[in-house]
Every structure is written in structure tokens, then in C-alpha cells.
Amino acid sequence: MRYTKAKYIQLIHIAKHKLSIDESTYRSLLMNLTGKSTCKQMKVAELEKVLSSLETKGFQNNAAGFHKKTHTSNYHSPSSGKAVVKHDIALKIRAVWIEMSKQGFLRDGSEEALNQFVRNVINPILKPEKLMVLGVAALDYRQGTIVLERLKKWREREINKLRKGVSE
């Protein structure tokens, strides 16, 4: 189970209180870990890093559904070995999607979220032909190329945002 940004912030503030961390120590911890002084400025991956650090300092996360071993395995799309796809490009799309999720660029890295992204990209293109794609597994090579290129551009924008944030 992966948390929303708001849930991470809530857990971090609970940890701050439970560990009796004063404000200046808390801000310096955030700056040392992420280079940002407030949780609101952080991406989900950075918030995960802060929460993990607080857990190593003794905070026990008792949030419902939290299990460290299944935390990431249930979150990502299914493995490519078990997936049935129309064209192999769908496997590459899944790999890029999972990578973006691990980097914290996505709010939801699930298979359903990937399928929704695919529908949002491809169905407007197919509308004149009165066709619809329901998910990544149904993509042919041409459609898959369109989706893959959109994902790559999105990933590049997110990486550039991070670079700009670091250089400031």
C-alpha cells in the first residue's frame, strides 16, 4: 500500500510529535534529506524518504494496511512475464510506468491508473473510427508508440523540474 501525499505529510507530523523533535531540528532534517524546508514542497518520493528516516529514529508507523514487505510489490503493475499483450511495446510502457512510479513522479502507479492514462491518450485519437482501447494490453505497435512517447516526454518534464529545483 502506498500513501497519498497528504497521508505522508500527516504521518511525518505525527512522527515529529511522537519523537519530540523541535521545529529547528525538524526543518534541518528536512533540508538535509531533501533540500526542502517544508513537506508541502516535496514530491511523494521525498516524503517517503523523510518518513523512512523518522522510522529509523524510532517512529513506529501503525497506519492501517502498512506492511513493509508488501509496500511496493502490490503497488506496481503486474510483472511482464505473466502479462498477455497484443504487442511487446506494452511491456516497455509498463516498465517506464513502474520506473516513473518508483521515482515518485506518479500519484498512483497501479495498473488501473496506467490503463486510464492509455485510454486518455489513445481513445481521443480513435474516436473518429468509433473504436476504443480499454488498456495497455490492447495496444498495437502504432498506438503503443504514441503512448510510450507521451510517457517519455512526461518523465523528461519531471526530471527537468527536479533539476531546476536542485539548482536553485
Write out the three cell numbers for 166.
Answer: 536542485
* DSSP reduced 3-state for 87: coil
Distance CA 75, CA 129 (A): 34
Mean predicted confidence (pLDDT) in 123-131: 86
Task: Provide Rg for the chain, Cα atoms.
Answer: 19
Distance CA 90, CA 109 (A): 15
Q: What is the mean pLDDT of the chain?
A: 83
pLDDT band of residue 131 (cuts 50, 70, 90) is confident
pLDDT of residue 117: 94
Cα three-residue angle 132-101-118, rounded to 5 degrees: 5
| Boundaries of every domain in the chain | 5-69, 76-167
Distance CA 80, CA 107 (A): 22
Residue located via cell numbers 498495437: 140
pLDDT in tens, 6-53: 888 999 999 888 888 899 899 999 999 999 989 999 998 899 899 989
Residue located via cell numbers 510502457: 93
Helix-strand-coil split of the chain, %, nearest 5: 65, 0, 35
